[in-house]
Amino acid sequence: MSDVGVALALIVTLFLILGSGVWIGLTLSGVAWIGMQLFSSRPAGDAMAVTIWGSASGWTLTALPLFLWMGEILFRTRLSQDMFKGLSPWMQSLPGRLLHANVAGCAVFAAVSGSSAATCATIGKMSLPELKRRGYPDDMVIGTLAGAGTLGLLIPPSIITTVYGVSADVSIAKLFIAGVIPGILLAILFSGYIMVWALLNPKRVPPADPSLSFIGKLKASLSLIPVALLILAVLGSIYSGIATATEAAALGVVGALVISGAQGSLSWDSFKQALLGATRLYCMMALILAGAAFLTLSMGYIGLPRHLAEWIGSLGLSRPQLVVMLGIFFVVLGCFLDGISMVVLTMGVIMPTVIAAGIDPLWFGIFIVLVVEMAQITPPVGFNLFVLQGMTGKDLLYIARVTFPMFLLMVAAVAIVYLVPELVTWLPRQMAP
């Protein structure tokens, strides 16, 4: 069978098994086993055991369950309510007023969560009823929340960035800091859109609350101190070179427990729920990572990555054309797979091509995160859409429609980052070696 035939056979098998409802991690392992058994001389069972053990026992991967645990602990605190209380007084004078609290709240919570769905759900629990009570239109409230929730993937610490770093063998600490400026850029684009919309639709914006004095605003902002200290502890320890990503994640767990205890929300029941929630989520991700590692090995033995790289190279694509092609590929793939699966499933095939094209793997990591963010708000498998559907009861297509302007803003962010790559690479160059 030709290389193209092998690739098509494996892809068809992959989607048939996925369509039957089998877990993604088991599907990846099964397709890898079939590929090695049929098209390689190495024993599949031996390769599976060695690869899965190696992928599961890496020290770098320990940062992932710790960040998940930190997010689960904070999910059960008053942190989101405190953030809204501290941010909202500063938003009253901006066009669009409290709609900006969606963006600012998601940006701040993203810096201590790492998960898009957790960011969207946590801020949404607080902002949806509050903004609805004040008379803000549903389409803008839901659309901006769905878009801003994706900042949980980009602003560090980020779970998807950690997964990419492990899959592509890129420094997680440098990836974290590389996402800071693009994350701020995306938040500015979202807020800019809200301002333009508000200026064009002044009658749809509810009147402002009674204004507070500057001292009153400062007093309200005191509620932001716990989250600011946690962000400073986690990210500051990484960027200063004091701690690795794993050590900083452990520090974040301790800080989250301290905040939860200080707020009175830490109990044995909440501690157990947070630990079990993080364990369940990590087990799912670890199974996917293990299956993807075995599939990567299988494709390496078959020779698919090399042949794919040679095929793409034979197309004579320029670097911009390659980036556009990969962007479209990941957006389409995101209609069927979650972000973690997209990254771990494709990195073994894509990275040789990316490196051969002279694309910086650090920059490409942020590009991947931005494109995966788009997939979070594209049906049928857009996790932020699912979260908001459960919270609002609205139709999925309605939520996707009102979120579409945020999707276009993400496309603009990708274009800006491509045209000005220093937005990604400048900060990592300032890090301590």
Q: How confident is the model at residue 185 (pLDDT cuts 50, 70, 90)?
A: very high
Other Cβ atoms within 10 Å of 219 Cβ, number: 13
Q: What is the pLDDT of residues 357-401, one digit of tens each?
A: 888 999 999 999 898 888 778 776 666 777 788 778 888 788 889
Length of the chain: 433
pLDDT attached to residue 412: 94
Instruction: Select the highest-mean-pLDDT range: 150-159, 232-241, 256-265, 343-352.
Output: 256-265
> How many secondary structure helices (H) and strands (E) does the chain include?
23, 0
Enumerate the H helices of 303-360 as residue ranges. Answer: 304-314, 319-333, 339-356
Residues 175, 164: contact at Cβ < 8 Å?
Answer: yes
Q: Which of 148, 181, 109 is nearest to 363 (CA)?
A: 181
Angle at 358 between CA 347 and CA 413, to 5 degrees: 70
> Of 357, 369, 351, whose CA–CA distance to 320 is shortest?
357
List of residues 6+ apart from 426 with CB closer than 8 A: 181
Dihedral sign from CA coordinates of 362, 75, 286, 309: negative
pLDDT reported for residue 171: 87
Give the residue among 283, 288, 286, 279 at the shortest CA–CA distance from 23. 288
Distance CA 325, CA 330 (A): 9
pLDDT at 97: 84
Q: Say how many C-beta atoms besides its own lie within 10 A of residue 89's C-beta.
A: 20
CB 124 within 8 Å of CB 149: yes
The closest of 16, 1, 2, 6 to 299, measured between CA atoms, is: 6
Given a contact cutoff of 8 angstroms between Cβ atoms, the answer to whether 361 and 354 are in contact is yes
Give me the mean pLDDT over the 89-102 stretch. 83
Q: Is the pLDDT of residue 305 over 60?
A: no
**Six token digits for residue 167:** 């899959």
Q: What is the pTM of this model?
A: 0.73
Would you say residue 338 has pLDDT above 70? no
Summarised one tens digit per residue, pLDDT across range 17-48 is 767 777 777 887 888 888 788 777 777 777 77
Residue 244: left if φ>0, alpha if ψ -120 to 50, beta else—which one? beta
For helices 63-75 and 268-302, angle between their N-to-C axes, nearest 10 degrees: 140
pLDDT at site 188: 94
The single-letter code of the amino acid at 425 is T
Region 121-141 average pLDDT: 81
Structure tokens at 46: 């031996």
Contact predicate 9/1, CB 8 Å: yes
Average pLDDT, the chain: 80
Task: State how far Cα 262 lies from the chain centre.
Answer: 29
Residue 402's pLDDT is 92
Do residues 249 and 63 lie in contact, with contact meaning Cβ atoms separated by under 8 Å?
yes
Domain ranges of the chain: 24-29+43-429
d(CA 356, CA 359) in angstroms, rounded, equals 8
Confidence of residue 431 (pLDDT cuts 50, 70, 90): low
